[in-house]
Structure 1
C-alpha cells in the first residue's frame, strides 16, 4: 500500500488505549491522580474475585447473621440481607449492605428479585431461645423463666424453623445455579465496576484504524464497532484491565460465555501473566446471527499465541492466575490464515454472562442449626446432663424437633448445602480452636464470632459440601489446626 492510500492513523486514540491499560506508567499515574478511577476499579476487581455473585444472608440482624454480614463486607463480597424491617436493619447493618424486605414464613415474599444474581445463601434465621444480646452466666435459670423470646412477631418453631427454612431452600432450588459454576460477569445486572474494567484494544496499537467499544444495554453488554483492513490492520477487541489479585480458576474446567452475534467468528482470549504484550491464550467460536448461544471454552483447548503466531512448545494455560479476559473480531485466525467468516465493516456481539464452569460442587446453602437436635426422645439420653434447650424441648414448642425437620428440608432440596450445629452460642471473642464432630454427641460452647467466620470459610471449601456437623470451641487454645484440616475430617451425609 502506498503512503497516498493509507488512512489517517489516530495517535491520540493510541495513547488513550495505552494509558487506560497502564502501559504508560507516567500518564496512568497522572490519570489516577486526577480521577482516582483506577483505585476504584482495583477495589471492585478484588470484590469480583472474592464474591463472584451476591451472598444472601437470611436472619441478617441476629447475633450470628450481623457478624456474617460484617465479615462478608470486610472481604469485599456483595451482600444482600433478607430482613423483615429495613429501617431497623439499616441501623444494625449500616449503609453498605443491600436490604431486601421479605419473610421466610411467607413464601410469596421470596421472589425471583430476591434471588437475582445470588450465588450462595447463609441462613441464620430461627426462633431464639436466648437473649438478643448474648448469654447470661446463669443460662439455666433464664431458660426456666421464659416462654421464649421471638423478634418482631410471635412465631412458632414449626413456622420459622421448619416451614420458613423449607420456603427459603425451595426458592433457592429454583434460582441457584444447577451446575458447579462461578459467575464472573453478569451483564444482566450491570454494576459500576464493569464500566471501569473493560476497555477497547483495537488495531490502532499497530497503526490500524478499526474502532470498537463496549457499553451496557438492556440485560447485556454490547461489543460493537467497525473493523477496517486499512493500514494492514483488521481487528477490534475489548479487554479487561488486569485483575488484582488475579483470579484463581484452577478448580474449573473452562469459561462459558452466553452471546448473541452477527454470524461472524470471534475469539475469546485469556492471559495468565500481567504483561501487556505477553502470551495470549485464544479460542475461536462461531456465532449464529441474532441467536443466543452458550459457548464453552475448555482451558485445555486454548491456543497459546504471541503476536498472531502460535507457540508450539509453550505450557498450557495456567488457570490458577487469570489476569485478563478479552473478546476479539479479527480478519486473521492463526499464523497468517484468514478468518473464513470475517467481513470488514460494522459488527455487533452481545454478551449476557461470563462464568467459569466445571468446578467442584460447593456449598450454596449454609444453615445454622443447633447441636442437640436429635437428642430429644433419643433412647439412653440422660436429660439431666443435657443443655437446657434439650431438656426443655417440649416446653419450648419442640424447637429442636422442628430445627431437625428444617435440616431434613435442606437435605432433600437438592441444593448443595452445609448444616452447622453449634453448641451453646456466646458473645465471647472469637479465635479459639474449634472441634468438629458428627453424630450429635458433643456439648460445650462456641463464639458467634467463630461461627460467622466458619460460614465464610465454608463458602470456599468443597470438602464441606453436603455435610452436617457439630462445632464447639476447645478451651484455652488458639485456632489450630487449619480450616482445611478441619474440613478434611468431615464425612458427607448419607443422602438418598
Structure 2
C-alpha cells in the first residue's frame, strides 16, 4: 500500500545534482564537449587564490628565467620593469607588467603590491664591456671567460637606494604568509558561485532543499531541512578542485560565520570520489553573532555516510579535493545532532581560508658571493674572483650590494638572500653546494639560481637566511628542504 504520509520526491532535483557534480561519467563527457568554459571554472580557482609573485628585474639574466619558471608552474606573475616594450617582447601577454623605476620611489605606487604574496628581486647594476682591443679585454677566471666592464648605472642607487625604496613599499602592502584565502565571500564573484552546488537528502529520497547565494558581502547557506521520507540533511558542496589544493603547510581551515544557533558540519575530502570518505568537523553557532571557527586538520573525523571509519587514516591536507557545509539530523554513528530542528535554517559565511602556516620568505634577494670581501682585513685580492678584485673600479658595486642586503635584513620582512658565485648560461642540472661566511668560489647556472629562488619562497626553512651557492660537477636533483635546513638563520 502506498504510504499516504510520504512526501513527493523530486527526481528532477536528483538529476540536477548528479549532472552538476559530474557523477555520471558519460554525461560529464558530453557536458564538457558542449560547454568547455564550464569545465574550466574549477581549474581556474587555484590560480585566483594563489596570489601574485612580484619579480623585480624581470628582463635580466636571472629575472627572465624566474618569470618563465613561475609561469611553467602556474604562478600568477607581476613584473616590475623599466621598459615595458622590451618586457612585452620577452613575455608577450603571459605576464602582468608594471612599468616603474625603483630608484624613483614615486613610481612605486600601492598598485604595485596589490595581491602580491612574495617578491623575488633580481636587480643589478648594468655593466657593459669597455671599448678597445678585445684581446686585451678578455680574461679568464677558473675557466670562465669575462670582459673588463664599465659601469652604466650608479651602484649606490641600484644596489642600495633602489633596494631600500623597494623594501619600504613592500613591507607596507605585502600580504601575510601564514594564511591562504580560499573563498572570500566579502568580495564574491560569479565564478565562485558556479563552484558551489546543493547536495541535499534528495539523493536518498528526501525533500530537504538548500542553496548557497551570494549577498553583497557574504555567502548565505540557507533552506529548509525536513525529516520526511527518512531524510534529514541539507548541504552545499564544491565541485572537485582541479588540481586539488595543497594545504600541507597549514594547520587547518578557518571559517568566519554568523549562524542561527544550530550545529553544522564542515566536510572536506582528500580523494576525488563523489561518494567516498569525507573528513568531518561539527561546530556550533550562536544566534545572529559572528563567530570564527577553526578546524584543525588533525581533528577531522573520517566518515562514510555518517558512520565513522576508524581505519581510514588521517586527513591528507596535500590533496584537498572539495569542501562542504551541512546541516544534518545525525551526528555520527547513529547519534543525533543535539541542536537539530527541522525547518528553516541560515548560515552566513564571510570567508573560508587555511591558517597556521609557518612563515615563508616574503622577499628573496639575488645578491652576489664576495660582497664582504673587498673590505675584509687580510684578504688576498689576487686570489679572489674578478668582481672582488675590481670592486673599486666598478664603483664599489659589491660594497653597495652588501648595504642593500642590510636594508632587506633590517626591513622586518621575512627574507632569503642568495649569493651566487659567477653566473653562467649553462643548464641548471648540477647539484648545488651552499655555505655561509662568504668564502665560496666557483660558478653556478642562472637557471639553477632561478629555481632556487622559487624554492625559497615556498620553504619556511629558508626564512631569514643568507648564503653563498655554487654548483658541483655532478648532475642531480636538489633536495631543497635538506639544503635549506642545513643553513643557520642570520643572527
Name the CA distance, whole Å, in 2 between partners of 1:182 and 1:32. Answer: 30
Q: Which moved more, 1:431-440 or 1:326-335?
A: 326-335
CA RMSD of aligned residues (A): 3.3
Alignment of structure 1 residues 129-140 onto 2, 5 Å:
129-130=127-128, 138=138
* Match in the other structure for 2:465: 467
Change (3 A) 1:3 1:364: farther
8 Å CA contact 1:86, 1:100 repeated in 2: yes
Contact 2:43 2:243 in 1 (8 A): no
Matches of 2:95 and 2:260, distance apart in 1: 40
- Name the SS of the counterpart of 1:66 in structure 2: helix
Q: 2:475 aligns with which of 468, 472, 478?
A: 478
* Counterpart contact for 1:258–1:354, Cα < 8 Å: no
Residue matched to 1:22: 22
Question: What is the rounded CA distance, in whole Å, between the counterparts of 2:162 and 2:236 in structure 1?
Answer: 45
Alignment of 1:322-361 (within 5 A): 322-334=320-332, 335-338=334-337, 340=339, 344-345=343-344, 347-355=346-354, 357-361=355-359
Provide the C-alpha distance between the structure 1 equivalents of 2:94 and 2:128, rounded to a whole number of angstroms.
Answer: 28
Q: SS in structure 2 opposite 1:16?
A: helix
Equivalent residue of 1:327, what SS?
A: strand
| The 10-residue stretch of structure 1 (414-423 or 204-213) with the greater mean CA deviation from structure 2 | 204-213
Pairs within 5 Å for 1:152-171: 156-171=154-169
Q: 1:27 Cα shift?
A: 0.8
Distance in 1 between residues matched to 2:439 and 2:107, nearest whole Å: 37
Aligned counterparts of 1:161 and 1:239: Cα–Cα separation in 2: 51
Report 1:359-378 matches (<5 A): 359-378=357-376
> Does the aligned pair in 2 maintain the 1:265–1:342 contact within 8 Å?
no
TM-score, normalised relative to structure 1 = 0.84
Counterpart Cα distance in 2 of 1:58 and 1:343: 57
DSSP-derived class of the 1:22 partner: coil
Partners of 2:123 and 2:189 in 1: CA distance: 29
Q: 1:124 — aligned with what?
A: 122
**Equivalent of 1:90, from 88, 91, 114?**
88
1:153: which partner in 2?
A: none
Deviates more, 1:448-457 or 1:395-404: 395-404
Taking the aligned partners of 2:187 and 2:68, their CA distance within structure 1 comes to 24
Residues 462 and 179 (structure 1), Cα distance of their counterparts in 2 relative to 1, 3 Å cut? closer
Farther off after superposition, 99-108 or 267-276: 99-108
Is residue 36 from structure 1 mapped to residue 36 from structure 2 by the alignment?
Answer: yes
CA shift for structure 1 position 145: 4.9
Assess if the C-alpha contact under 8 Å between 1:129 and 1:143 holds in 2. Answer: no
C-alpha distance in structure 1 between counterparts of 2:55 and 2:152, whole Å: 21
Output the CA distance in 1 between the equivalents of 2:75 and 2:306: 38
Deviation at 1:114, TM superposition (A): 3.1
How many angstroms apart in 1 are the aligned matches of 2:288 and 2:365?
43
Answer yes or no: is the 8 Å Cα contact 1:308–1:336 preserved in 2.
no
Instruction: Flag the 1:352–1:246 CA change in 2: closer, same or farther, 3 A.
Output: closer
Deviation at 1:123, TM superposition (A): 1.3
Does the residue aligned with 1:91 lie in a helix, a strand or coil?
helix
SS at match of 1:164: helix
Shift of the alpha carbon at 1:116? 3.1
Deviation at 1:374, TM superposition (A): 0.7
Deviations, residues 192-247 of structure 1 (Å, cap 9, x unaligned): 86455433322322233444444555565x14342231544443322222334544
1:390–1:400: 8 Å Cα contact kept in structure 2?
Answer: yes
- Mean Cα displacement is larger for which, 90-99 or 171-180? 171-180
1:67–1:160: structure 2 CA closer, same or farther, 3 Å change rule? same
| Counterpart residue number, 1:493 | 490
Offset at 1:365? 1.6
Residue 160 of structure 1 aligns to a residue in which SS?
Answer: helix
In structure 2, the residue matched to 1:208 is: 206
- The structure-2 alpha-carbon separation of the partners of 1:317 and 1:474, relative to structure 1 and needing over 3 Å to count, comes to closer
The residue correspondences of 1:152-191 to structure 2 (distance < 5 A) are 156-178=154-176, 180-187=178-185
Change beyond 3 A, Cα 1:459–1:130: farther
SS in 1 for 2:69: helix
Query: Deviation at 1:382?
Result: 2.4
- Aligned mates of 1:486, 1:402 — CA distance in 2: 28
For residue 326 of structure 1, report the CA deviation from its aligned partner: 1.4
> 1-side partners of 2:435 and 2:269: how far apart?
43
Shift of 1:16: 2.2
Select between 74-83 and 109-118 the one with higher mean Cα deviation: 109-118
2:258 corresponds to 1:256: no
Q: 1:318 aligns with which of 294, 310, 316?
A: 316
The answer to whether 1:149 aligns with 2:152 is yes
1:100 is the counterpart of 2:95:
no
Structure 1: runs of 5+ lacking an equivalent: 151-155
> Relative to structure 1, is the Cα distance of residues 306 and 91 closer, same or farther in structure 2, using a 3 angstrom cutoff?
same
Shift of 1:284: 2.5
User: Contact 1:212–1:223 (CA<8 Å) still a contact in 2?
Assistant: no
